[in-house]
Chains A and B, each alone.
Chain A
Amino acid sequence: MTTPLILCNLTAHYGATKVLDDLSLDVGAGELVSLLGASGCGKTTTLRLVAGFLQPTAGTIHLGETDLTRLQAHKRNIGLVFQNYALFPHLTVRDNVAFGLKQRGLAGAERTRKAGEMLDRVGLSALAERLPGALSGGQRQRVALARALVIEPPLLMFDEPLSNLDARLRVEMRVEIRELQRANRTTAIFVTHDQEEAFSISDRVAIMEAGRIRQFDRPETLYSRPANAFVARFVGFENLIPLTVTARDAGRISAEGEGGIDMTLSEEDLGPIPDQFILATRPDGLRVSNGDHGIPARLGLRTYVGRAYHYQAETPAGHLIASGTLGQPRDGGETVCLVAEPEQCCILDHEGAS
């Protein structure tokens, strides 16, 4: 039971405010896709549109062959897991899990058996007769998961399901979610604002901003090859340095920037480099050096980050964050050159700057 989900040109308004702007997204059968972004980026809105709690002002939603766009929420057959668990407080754990089966007209004995099996799978058989109020956060989330899985939906959706759990449990639960989703080959949407969570659990991640998807790709690609400055900053490329190519020599690129910046880069490491581009680096991709080639910089505050020191640096390209080895701590006020480490850098088109 693997069904693809296709969102086509979805637009949604909240009153007069446009919260989703012509969003299209293809989720492959059995794939887990995360919607990642800050609050207000439209990720939860997207999920609520698919669930049927909101109506789009334009666009269509298809789950396999079925057009969900105008279908009532209770007929959509989607398993939902909520941030605050949303368990039925007046029903026992078993009845919570059996609720969806009851709506599908399963007989009492069959319901109890199926709910029992599912509780077994999430390791909660012993608590079947308890009320949700008597469970811990992690246990509640397992019940919520069991309740969504037991109806064997073609699509599972998670709305920040782990954000109310403590850090250790969060990692444990996301592995559990991933394993259950994989075992059933269920198509899934996972909404989160936590980058690590999204990257670790997903086949693909859609990074959203202001009601649009800025990039939709595999986590590895997003992490190493962001398509634009927004995504670059989002995944930690904090330094954006505009440069212009001055000479090309068999993949060796010489480039210049404002205020005497001059760098040598290799297309072998960074991929094709256009004439006008932005070099994006993580702090670890900009190393403090004693040479006179690179970005002239005046060091400011030094912070210790475990594997290295980070330096606030004033340069002709603005305020940048560079790193230096632990063996050679430097003082504020030193004048140095910053050089790029290709494995922590990427190239952005000038157009992708915003």
Chain B
Amino acid sequence: MTDRLHPALIAFAVLVYFFLMGPLVIVIGAALSDTGYLTFPPQGLTLHWFERIFEMSAFRRTMVTSFQVATVSTCCALLIGIPTAYALNRYRVQLPGWLSTLFVLPVLIPEIVLGFSLLRSIQVGVGLPVVSTLIIGHTLLVLPYAVRVISASLASFDFSIEEAAVSLGSPPIKTFFTIVLPNVRAGVIAAFILAFITSINDVSISLFLTGPGISTLPIQILAHVEQFFDPVIASVSVLLMVLTVIVMAVVERTLGLTFLAK
């Protein structure tokens, strides 16, 4: 046995990274290009296309909508998902096996179908405003991720710890907040990030639920691409990436991102 890596393994690793990072490099390059159309490698460097995003009110508005919808639906999904995941794990023995599968179902249904049925049932049927419908749709979309990720975290949680706290005089509800929650914090943070990013990037459900005057950023990008072929699209994409990274960084700073190490 030697510690030296096989050259083929190194080559393979490099290829994987190239495959993963390549598109990002191309998009970032194209966003900086000084041409009026999408091209790579960039010809000349400019930040002009980033300015253009903010000159276009459609992008500004949809960006705000996207963030509002992502934030609210992620919070809703956590509020539903944390107690759900807790119950599914705490009472795993007593509950039927299919119950946990039930919360993964929205992932299995094609998003197009989900979007269409939401359109028919709550937007047209009940007549809710567009933003509310979007929030409900996205909550449904990200809930399975929240439940799964928090469940994974709870699966390694020893519930006798909770019983120990109760036996020492801590009421059950209080125990949940002082003992259970701090020990699955990493899972909750991971669920938040995953849910937020899933919502921000969603196209299929939003496609059905956005309406006149109210749209999300990915839908606006789609609409823009259909008409123009300028680097604005690339710069919006870069902006979206940067914002995602910022969300992760902020969450990490405020809550402590220990889950990546686990």
Contacts and interface: CB of A to CB of B under 8 A. Distances in A.
A104 interface: yes
A88 B161 contact: yes
Contact of A73 (B161, B167, B182, B183): B167
A100 B169 contact: yes
Q: Which of B158, B163, B169, B172 has its CB near the most chain A CB atoms (within 10 A)?
A: B169
A86 B172 CA distance: 16
Interface string A85-114: 011111000000001100110000000000
A145 B209 CA distance: 58
B158 A84 contact: yes
B248 interface: no
B16 interface: no
A299 interface: no
Contacts of A90: 182-183
B6 to A, nearest CB: 36
Nearest to B168: A100
Contacts of B161: 86-89
Contact of B169 (A51, A74, A82, A89): A74
B183 A89 contact: yes
A340 interface: no
Contacts of B183: 88-90
A53 interface: yes
B132 interface: no
Contacts of B167: 51, 73-74, 76, 78-80
B204 interface: no
Given A88-B179, A90-B182, A151 B168 contact: yes
A181 interface: no
A77 interface: yes
Contacts of A148: 168
A87 B163 CA distance: 10
B166 interface: yes
B170 A103 contact: yes
A86 B164 contact: yes
A104 B163 CA distance: 17
B169 A53 contact: no
Q: Which of A53, A78, A147 has its CB near the most chain B CB atoms (within 10 A)?
A: A53
A86 B165 CA distance: 9
Contacts, number: 62
Q: Which of A77, A99, A144 has its CB near the most chain B CB atoms (within 10 A)?
A: A99
Nearest to B181: A90
Nearest to A78: B167
Interface string A305-317: 0000000000000
B170 A86 contact: no
B160 interface: yes
Interface in A42-81: 51-53, 72-80
Given A86-B158, A103-B169, A151-B169, A80 B164 contact: yes
Contacts of B175: 74
B171 interface: yes
A147 B182 contact: no
B71 to A, nearest CB: 27
A53 B168 contact: no
A104 B160 contact: no
Q: Which of B160, B167, B172 has its CB near the most chain A CB atoms (within 10 A)?
A: B167
Interface string B17-28: 000000000000
A151 B175 CA distance: 17
A225 to B, nearest CB: 36
A74 B172 CA distance: 8
A88 B97 CA distance: 29
A77 B169 contact: yes
Contact of A86 (B160, B171, B182): B160
